[in-house]
Structures are given as structure tokens and as C-alpha cells.
Amino acid sequence: MSADTEVETKICNFLRRNGKSKAFVISKQCGLDKRIVNKHLYSLEKSNQLFKCTEQPPIWDLVENMNKLKLTPEPKQKSQTTTETSGEKDVEKLLTRSGGLKAYEIAKNLGQSRQSINKQLYSMEEKGKVKKCSQSKLWRLNDEWSDESFSQESSSSCPSDHGLDSVPGLSNSFDVIAKLGEGGFGWVYKVKHKIDEKIYAVKRVILTRSASAAEPPENNRIDGLDSNQSRTCLFIQMEFCEGGTLTNWIKARNFMEKQRTIVEIHKIFYEIITGVEYIHANELIHRDLKPDNILFGADGKVKIGDFGLVAAQTDQNGDPMERSNRGTPTYMSPEQKNKKHYDEKTDIFPLGLVWFEMIWKISTLSERMKLWTDLRDRRFPEGFSDSYRTESKFIMKMLSYSPEHRPHAKDIKEKLEKFFSLHQNLLSQKTV
């Protein structure tokens, strides 16, 4: 059996067992790269073994299932109109300038509806013009960025055309080892300093208007042009945390079945809340707290990173400030998504989600998607409140819709010390 036939058999067997599904769910459950899955889904559609619904992203099913239910596949989309073609050109121009954006950012920049932009993006993806990075949800042009450049499956070596090793003033100082990940505005690389031979993390940001507005206040910065000499980039040198991210820690619990004790969970969360208390005590708001931005040092100590969206709690007169709704949508508080004014309590909401995620095992992506909406609305899965009574009460308050009903970081820390016998001597250094 050829490799292609084996992949297609695996896809068909999955759909036969589980019914209709989306490409990213199939790829996750079958342990396959999403690009490979998409390629074979369209191949199977051409051979009349699969059909797709016209939803975006498409939902796929077996033709044999359709026949059993006496259904007919929905008609395929007609060829693009001149207006649609023109719209795709606008998207291409925007992605060329920015390097990569999320769908809602594209819609906002072009003054179009999210639904219309999604339709154009998935049409362009089928044609091979663009691709979507599975972890960051950023859309990029295929003719400008190679598939290998933005693979989220591993920390692959960084190709020379990424620009890090060709920027004057930077290539003389660092050797690029690997790409660690990417976010809303840029990419993070593991590098080795050529003089002190220490390992650092360097964040590379393409300075679009939105990225410039969120430019982080860190000192170790180098400005320059990327390898195409057409875009201004910002490079931020940061400490490299050998212990990885909380995301890795959670995955080890969920997918590798590495057991974590509740005592260990409480200790780690205590360090996280201590770091956030320190941020708030300095009259700042982080605004992007999530497992990707919580790291572990070589000594196992928790460190909070990525201050790209950090903001002051008030203006110089002590008055509330008008704010943007930037952040990570799945972790953003309701007011950060919907309001122009909010305070440091906005950081407490994502911490409630993070604490739950550390405690409760989530085995599949589809399970997470179903669970997350309920969780944001303070509805816990069956058994959680019974198994973790004290934790559930804490998290329930932290996920309050109104920020005034959420506790301060300092209050949470004090309650953790009281209820779980945690003490300040757990921390020998700041966790920021």
C-alpha cells in the first residue's frame, strides 16, 4: 500500500467511524499534518469518495454515508465573479504588506464582513495562494512564505530567508538555532550569542501599523529591514527559558498521560498568580495571559513573558484609558473583547481559564472546542465541581462576566496560601 493510499484509507476510516468532520479535527485525531489532510480530502472528492458542505471551513463526509441517508451533496460554488477576484487581490496586497494576519484583522482592514473574508480566504487556500497556520490562526501568502517556514509541529531549523541572519547588526551577533513559535505580530527564535555563547530568545516583529501601536517596552531591541529589504522589523532579545511553556506542560498531561499531582498544580499556579500580582502592583496590565506566555526557567521556576500588549492601568492623571481589543480571543475577558475601558481585573479572567486547563484533562481538540464556550460562560464539565470543590469556587469567581465581581490577584494569592497551605517561600525570585 502506497503512502498516499494509506493516508486516504485512514481518513475514510475515520469518517466511517465518526461521521462528518472538519479537516483540522481529522488531522488532529489521525495524527496527520493538516496540509496533507487537505490535499487528500480534495483528492478523495475528485474521485467521488467524499463530498463537502459549503460551510467555512468545509465539513467533510463520505459519499457512502450520503447515499445511506439519501442525501445529495450541496452544489459546488460557481466560478468566481469579477468582484470576488478583485476582493482576493485586496487580500493579497494586505498580506504582502503585513506578512500575516488573522481573518478578523483582514476583515477590519478591508472594511468587509468576517463571513465574506473567510469565504475568500478558504477559496484562496484551495488554489494554493494562501495558507493558515494552525496554532496562531494567521493567514499568509504561499508565494512569500514556504510551508516549512511556519510549521507548528516542531521547532524546525530556521531557513536563511527569514531575515534574522541577514539583518545588519544582528547576523554578526547571533547564530539562529530554531524557530520556537509565532504570535499575532511576529516570530520567536532560539539563538546563540556569538560572543558570550549564551542562548537567548529573539522575537522578530514586522512593523505594521498595528504592530507598531503594540510595540513592547523592552530595552534589548534592534531595528532593521528583513531579507527582502522591504519591511521594517523589530528584534527583541529576551531570556530563553529552558523549561518550555505551560502549553507544553499541559500537553504532557493531556496527550502523553504524564500525571501531575494537584499539589504540583497548586504550586505552579501560585507562582503564576504571584507574577501577575507583581505586574499589577507596578500599575500595569498584561492583556495576553495564556499558557503560551507562561514559561519555566531551567530551575523550574515560573516566568511570565511576552509583554507585547502590556498597558498602564491608568493615564498620567489617574483616569481610565481607552484601550484596543487586541489579545488572544480564546483567553480574552468579555470586556477586553467588547469595551474600550477596562482595568487590571481583565487579567484575572484568562487566569481562571488557565487554572482550569491545568487541572482538567482535555484529550482532543474537538472536546476542547465544545468545552471552551461553556467554560467561558462558567459552566463546568460534569464531575469537575465535585472533584475540585475549592478550585471550582475560585475559578467561578475569576470567570465572572463583570470584572468588579472578580478577585484581585493579591486576594487570590492570599486565599491560595490559606486554603492550600502555600507560602511565599515557594518563590525565591520574581516570576516576571
Q: Which residues does the annotation mark as catalytic? A: 288
330-354 in b/e form (b: 16+ CB < 10 A) is ebbbbbbeeeeebbbbbbbbbbbbb
How far apart, in whole angstroms, are the C-alpha atoms of residue 399 and residue 352? 6
- Which single residue is written with the C-alpha cell 500525571? 259
> Where are the extended beta strands (E) located within 274-400?
284-285, 294-296, 302-304, 311-312
> Element (H or E) spanning 61, and its range?
strand 59-62
- Distance of alpha carbon 48 from its chain centroid, rounded? 35
DSSP letter for 277, please.
Answer: H
How far apart, in whole angstroms, are the C-alpha atoms of residue 213 and residue 346? 20
Max CA distance (Å), the chain: 71
| Helix residue ranges, H only, 184-261 | 209-213, 246-254
Burial of 266 (0-12, 13-18, 19+ CB in 10 A): buried
Strands 302-304 and 294-296: antiparallel
- What residues form DSSP beta bridges with 238? 201
Tell me the C-alpha to C-alpha distance, in Å, between residue 276 and each of 21, 241, 410: 39, 18, 9
Residues 6+ apart with CB under 8 A from 80: 88, 123
